[in-house]
Structures are given as C-alpha cells and as structure tokens.
Amino acid sequence: MSERPESQVEFDYRCDETDWAHLRLLITELKEDFEQRRSAVLRRVILWETTTRIFQKMEIQRIVLKETPSVRDRDNHRSLLAYLIGSGAMLVLESKNLADVDWRSCGASFSNLSAAVDELRFREAEYYGDMTEGRRKEILADVFGPEQASRPNT
C-alpha cells in the first residue's frame, strides 16, 4: 500500500449528513463548559480548537467540495459557524488579560486563538455576508462602468 502525503490524510474520513449531529454533541459539551465554567480557560481553548478543526473538515466536505450543498448542510454550517465565532470571541476576551495561562504547555497561543476567530469571521462574511444594492452598484460601476451598475440584480 502506498503512503499518501500528510496533506491528504484529512480526506481519509468521509463526512455524511449525520456527522453534523456528532459535531453538535461536541458543541453541547463546549457550551456546558462555558456556562458552568467547569474547566480552566486553557482547557476550553483546546476544546474549542478541536471542535473548530472538526468543523473545518465538515465544512470542506459538506460545503466547499459539494457543487450544491443541501439546505440542511448550509443551515448546520451557518449556525455552528456563528456559535464557534461567538464562543471563540468569548475565549479571546476571557484569556486576554490572564497572566497565569501557560499557552505553551498545550501548544496553543493567544495570537493563534485570535487569528482563528478572525478567520471564522472572514468565512462567515464570505458565505453569508449580504451586499447592499448600493454597494453592488458601486462595485459594478467601478469595474464595468456606470451603465452596468444600473442593470438589475439577477
């Protein structure tokens, strides 16, 4: 059996629609940790990062690589993405001023956490950001001239 490059290992597992339910179970655990403050902030960061990596694998297979993702996939993707952004932002706020957090002990860093939250925000804007009609016309006018900007949005 031939060895595959490490970059392809993540595609060994094929996600199906039921995996959204499994990811939701993991997120339920994360929510309970947040609500009850059951664990130290660093443990929650690690759980959040793990959940985010699993989400990203689901996103690649169920949203990015599919020609037309199902409504259920898009709904799950959108709601879980919103939760991960919100909970990640809370972790950033919570850990920003903690001097006793030993990030290196678990291979994490504050800057990586903050960057991961920003990346999720960019993805949300990419997939679900709304463009106003005025902004659409402005972009079309800049690129194609004013006559194209007046064409209706099809």
Residue 154 falls inside a structural domain: no
Residue 55 falls inside a structural domain: yes
> 3-state SS of 54-98?
HHHHHHHHHHHCCCCCCHHHHHHHHHHHHHHHHHHHHHHHHHHCC
Residue 137 falls inside a structural domain: yes
End-to-end, the C-alpha distance of the chain in Å comes to 51
pLDDT for 154 = 44
Residue 120 falls inside a structural domain: yes
Residue 1 falls inside a structural domain: no
- 113 exposure class (CB count in 10 Å sphere: 0-12, 13-18, 19+): buried
The count of structural domains within the chain is 1
Whether the Cβ atoms of residue 17 and residue 73 lie closer than 8 Å to each other: yes
The residue range of the domain holding 123 is: 6-149
Tens of each residue's pLDDT in the chain, 154 residues: 445 445 544 445 566 667 787 788 878 887 877 777 656 788 888 889 999 999 999 999 888 888 888 999 999 999 999 999 999 999 999 888 776 777 777 788 888 999 999 999 999 988 888 777 777 677 777 888 777 656 554 4
Residue 24 falls inside a structural domain: yes
What pTM does this model have?
0.69
User: For tokens 């709601």, what's the residue?
Assistant: 79
Residue 11's CB is within 10 A of a number of other CB atoms, namely 12
